[in-house]
Structure 1
Amino acid sequence: MSRSNPILAASAQSTEAYQQAIAQSSAAVVQWLQQPEMYQGKSVAELREHIKLNFTAQGLGNQAAIERAIEYFLQDSLSVHHPQCVAHLHCPSLVISQAAEVLINATNQSMDSWDQSPSATIIELKLIEWLRTQVGYPAGDAGVFTSGGTQSNLMGLMLARDAFFARQGHSVQQDGLVGNLKKLKVLCSENAHFSVQKNMALMGLGYQSVTRVKTDQYARMDLHDLAEKVAQAEANGEQILAIVATAGTTDAGAIDPLRAIAELAAKHQIWLHVDAAWGSALLLSEQYRHYLDGIELVDSITLDFHKQFFQTISCGAFLLKDARHYELMRYQAAYLNSEFDEAQGVPNLVSKSLQTTRRFDALKLWMGLEALGQKQYAEIIDHGVTLAQQVAQYVAEQPSLELVMQPQLASVLFRYRPAQLAGNGDAAIALLNQKIGDALLESGRANVGVTEHNGVTCLKMTLLNPTVTLDDIKRLLSLVETTAEQLLSA
């Protein structure tokens, strides 16, 4: 090459370039963290016009490329650590998680085979063993780290489907799907994550395969309706592949009654998967762990660590209660997980994952647990749940604000409902609340979610940030009211 070698390597030139690039980038991040705005406020059209690629024949060099990334990406990024950024299940990250990313990225280990990630493989296995202990599963290492909830839910549904066919003596892996596919069903609540439908479509069974179960006043799966739906399916000659329960619905943070659902599923020999992408944080909780009662009874579990575990994106996991079900997806490639390797006890994790090349995201959770300790971790998780209860009480006391439902995890659903719109019907109030959310983001001052609950358009605060206080939220709610008054007077 005519220019200096750009690859990270052991040479003095390479390590010096690496240190300079990391120093320049981290200095820019420190400066960005100090800006008072949550968002610089550029619209979609403005960003399209502003951001320009500059791929030249000779290249710009590291320093200039980083400067451009700072200008075009960093400066116009959403400040997820900002106390007024509460729209989504989108957490600020632990400092130690940032440090872990440096190690993950520099080493660039690939988690598909042991000879590409020796120490990383063992660390991930030990973390899976530990997570199973927290759940209450039997000892073992049946599980794997994933990109997040959607992938973990796909694994649970796919194994449930394949286990169902295996009980009938048929291998989906070898021979594909057979029979009347219109008769295959999955049950989940009305508030379950959309990835249930998305994944059933991906598996060739379509949205039609998903039967939605009614929910109660707290957005939890209704047990009576679940029992009726199971009985109705059996009466119609339909076959239920799985029930998907949720521990932490996206909006309400609702946790389905896991123990009762598990008992019903066991009675009918139906696979039970729990999407605990959000609620799994309570595995470490000192105050709210009992919300997950019965989770140890289910067949498979989705966990996410880039929500209320405060890890950088992406970081999730899938746990499988009975390791023998992994045989349903095992595939042997001579160059990755050969029979010879397995006979020697070499752990090649590609057998447990839908991915082949995969990041060592488990390092972030491991370093977080070691750095914080379980007590401090529990405190920052519990903070959000307790704060949501305090905020709900405050909202209920404000004349122009209405609490839409009592919080369960760390989200608060509410709406602005002024007296002057009382006679105008819900449509006018819904439109006003939508405009409030849009106006706050456009101004760069706040990011409040806009969603629907039981047909009511409302605003949502997802209180994941452990540095946010009740006073911060009071200021945000004051901003909501001020913005609403400006919209009404315009």
Structure 2
Amino acid sequence: MNNKIISLEALSNATLPNNSGNFGNIFHPDNYDHYRNAVNSTLDLVQEFLYRNNKPFSGIEAREMKGMVQQIDLNQKLSNYNELLAEVDDIYVKHATAFHLPQYVAHLNCPVVIPALAGEILVSAINSSQDTYDQSAGGTFMERKLIDWTADQIGYNTNESDGVFTAGGSQSNLMGLVMMRDCFSQKRYNHNIKMDGLPAEASRFRIFVSDKSHFSNLKNASIMGLGEKSIVKVPTDDRFRMDISLLKKYIKREEQLGNIPIGIVATAGTTDFGNIDPLEDIANISEHYNIWMHVDAAYGCALLLSDKYRDLINGIERADSVTIDYHKSFFQPISSSAFIVKNKKELLILKHHADYLNPKEMDEEEIPAQINKSITQSTRRFDALKLWFTLRMMGREQLAEYTDTVIDLTKDAAAMITEDADFELLSDSDLSVLVFRYVNPEISDLNALNQYIKMKLFYSGEILVASTKVDGNFYLKFTFLNPITTTEDIHQILTTIKEHGKDFNSEK
């Protein structure tokens, strides 16, 4: 830590005019020295985080962590940044998960690229809101250009498509389901849900997803008033992708029951397996029934940039809407996501006029308002700037190289697991997730064995892996999103897993 940090009071007194009173904390030209010193001091703590950590987690237990935070008196202010940063170091930074280390192979948390972090400084300081032009100016058009760029990567006609940045994949998926529901109701029944609420038929609306799709589909259906019963889970094949023959049967079954299919959600990159539903086949079925197709590509969107693996998501260009998570697969800081729709006219369903923001008489061609495309956010950060920094400094090709690297690494890791008699690989992956478990013929309870291994890894903090259950059985899970990770790192992780596995009997 830098011991030369200037105290808050000293900074304020040194940089403020005599008549400025207690406003030395406001971001303002008079207070720039205060801002710069505060940021530089915080950068020192970032440096500590990077160089001090040699494992992804401290291993601290939740009970101890809670106690440390609970004892802080928020009504008692600190006297300087030294004290503040020391406090935050103790209760946050020392125990924060280090996603940038190759020993982190747990969830869909990517390491972030430096250009995006540079953009984050401007995003936070200038603090533009993306809802209207008069709050963002150039930011409005920069976001729109990035939406067009993303639509072009999908394969949409950018003169006809549109979209908006969102807070995350779950929100984008909500927008996809809302569009699916409202467009269906408008076209089939000439019923405007926005104005008149749900039609009587809504209780029979059915949306088809794979049984490995994201849980947000269930939550979103509940929020939309359709209930979780409206989500029909279609079983998957031996690679955990939606089974097309069963999808057809399930649609016919629901029709025979008197229910109404309104759309299909295809997953391009499942959270548990990293596999991709057959998009072309799903598009054919959606077109046959004239229903909406939404693709949840929150994870698999990285393939849009890859010349090597792009064919894995062929058919995505036929979808009516797509979820994109730049903060999963484009190496962006949280949050950075988008909802893209093929036909921009469909977005009019979401439009609402507020006299103080986007009155009806406003000429949107002259003064555009992004709030017309947002479903749950008015005030909205200029997260698009981080992606702008990234593309302008790194380019599409380098991002694609990162993606290709982690997919190639996953194939190597799958081979290592398959060839080792101490492990059982459940499925290979289109992307970068491997589900497997440690096996020992002398131990009958493999679930308890692998749970033991995971907790040993977690509380040592040396390696973080994820886990999941398949058919009631407990499995370990690798998620690779770090292009710095090597096969040597994976070998060491597997060796450590074995060592803990061998200790299982001795510690029972």
Q: Which runs of 5+ in 2 are unaligned?
A: 1-19
Structure-to-structure mapping, 1:113-128, within 5 angstroms: 113-128=132-147
Q: Which residue identity is paired with 1:143? A: G
Is this contact kept in 2: 1:91–1:464, CA < 8 A?
yes
2:421 is matched by which residue type in structure 1?
A: P
- Residues 1:191 and 2:201 are matched in the alignment: no
1:218 maps onto 2:239 in alignment: yes
Find the counterpart in structure 2 of residue 163 from structure 1.
Answer: 183
Q: What displacement does 1:60 show?
A: 3.2
TM-superposed deviation, 1:182: 2.9
Q: How does 1:65-76 map to 2 (within 5 A)?
A: 65-76=84-95
2:350 aligned with 1:352, yes or no?
A: no
AA partner of residue 151 (structure 1): Q
DSSP 3-state at the match of 2:363: helix
Confirm or deny that 1:467 pairs with 2:467. no
C-alpha distance in 2 between matches for 1:223 and 1:166: 28
Counterpart of 2:344 in structure 1 is: 323
The 5 A counterparts of 1:68-87 are 68-87=87-106
Q: Residue 277 in 1 paired to residue 295 in 2?
A: no
Distance in 2 between the 1:342 and 1:191 partners? 44
Deviation string, structure 1 residues 43-78 (Cα, Å, up to 9, x no partner): 001101122323245553444323321221111101
Q: Does residue 1:342 correspond to 2:360, yes or no?
A: no
SS at match of 1:419: coil
Task: Flag structure 1 segments of 5+ consecutive residues without an equivalent.
Answer: none
Classify 1:360/1:454 alpha carbon distance in 2 versus 1 (closer, same or farther; 3 Å): same
Query: Among residues 59, 78, 87, which one is paired with 1:41 in the alignment?
Result: 59
Give the whole-Å Cα distance in 2 for the aligned partners of 1:469 and 1:149. 29
Q: Deviations for 1:144-199, whole angstroms, at most 9, x for unmatched residues?
A: 00111100000000011001110111100001012143311111000000000010
Counterpart of 1:410 in structure 2 is 432
Aligned ranges for residues 223-234 of structure 1 at < 5 Å? Answer: 223-234=244-255
The whole-number CA distance in structure 2 between the counterparts of 1:389 and 1:488 is 32
SS at match of 1:296: helix
Share of identical aligned residues, percent?
A: 37
Taking structure 2 as the reference length, the TM-score comes to 0.93
Quick one: distance in 1 between partners of 2:46 and 2:446?
40
Write the distance in 2 (CA, Å) between the matches of 1:398 and 1:138: 48
Where does residue 420 of structure 2 map in the other structure? 398
Q: Contact 1:433–1:450 at 8 Å: present in 2 too?
A: no
The alignment status of 1:369 with 2:391, answered yes or no, reads: yes
How many Å apart are 1:446 and its aligned residue?
A: 0.9
Aligned to 1:6: 25
Q: 1:388·1:411 contact (CA, 8 Å) conserved in 2?
A: yes
CA gap 1:124/1:344 in 2 versus in 1, 3 angstroms: closer
1:489 correspondence with 2:506: yes
Does 123-132 or 336-345 show the bigger shift?
A: 336-345
Which secondary structure does the structure 2 equivalent of 1:420 belong to? Answer: coil
**Residue 451 of structure 2 is aligned to residue 434 of structure 1:** yes
The question of whether the paired residues in 2 share the 8 Å contact of 1:87 and 1:449 is answered with: yes
Q: Distance in 1 between the 2:139 and 2:468 partners?
A: 40
Q: Which residue matches 1:419?
A: 441
Q: Which amino acid aligns with 1:195?
A: S
Deviation at 1:286, TM superposition (A): 2.0
Give the Cα separation in 2 of the matches to 1:180 and 1:119.
44
2:112 to 93, 98, 110: 93
Corresponding position of 1:50: 68
Residue 378 of structure 1: aligned partner:
400
Tell me the equivalent position of 1:260.
Answer: 281
Structure 1 CA distance, aligned partners of 2:232 and 2:140? 38
Q: Give, in whole Å, the separation in 1 of the partners of 2:93 and 2:76.
A: 25
- Whole-Å Cα distance in 2 between the matches of residues 483 and 343 of structure 1? 62
1:138 is paired with a residue whose SS is: coil
| Per-residue deviation, 1:84 | 1.0
Q: Distance in 2 between matches of 1:230 and 1:251?
A: 25
Residue 3 of structure 1 deviates from its aligned partner by 3.6
Distance 1:399 1:192 in 2: 31
1:309 and 1:4 mapped to 2: Cα distance?
Answer: 39
1:60 is aligned to 2:70: no
Give the aligned residue type for 1:414.
Answer: F
User: Whole-Å Cα distance in 2 between the matches of residues 447 and 57 of structure 1?
Assistant: 36
More displaced, 259-268 or 372-381? 372-381
CA distance change for structure 1 residues 372 and 343 in 2, over 3 Å: closer, same or farther?
Answer: closer
SS at match of 1:302: strand
CA deviations 1:434-476 (Å, max 9, x no partner) are 1211110111111111112344321111010010001001101
Call closer, same or farther: CA 1:268–1:77 in 2, change over 3 Å: same
CA contact (8 A) 2:45 2:85 kept: no
Q: What is the Cα deviation at residue 413 of structure 1? A: 1.1
- Alignment partner of 1:137 is 2:156: yes
Amino acid at match of 2:184: F
Opposite residue 273 of structure 2, the aligned amino acid is: A
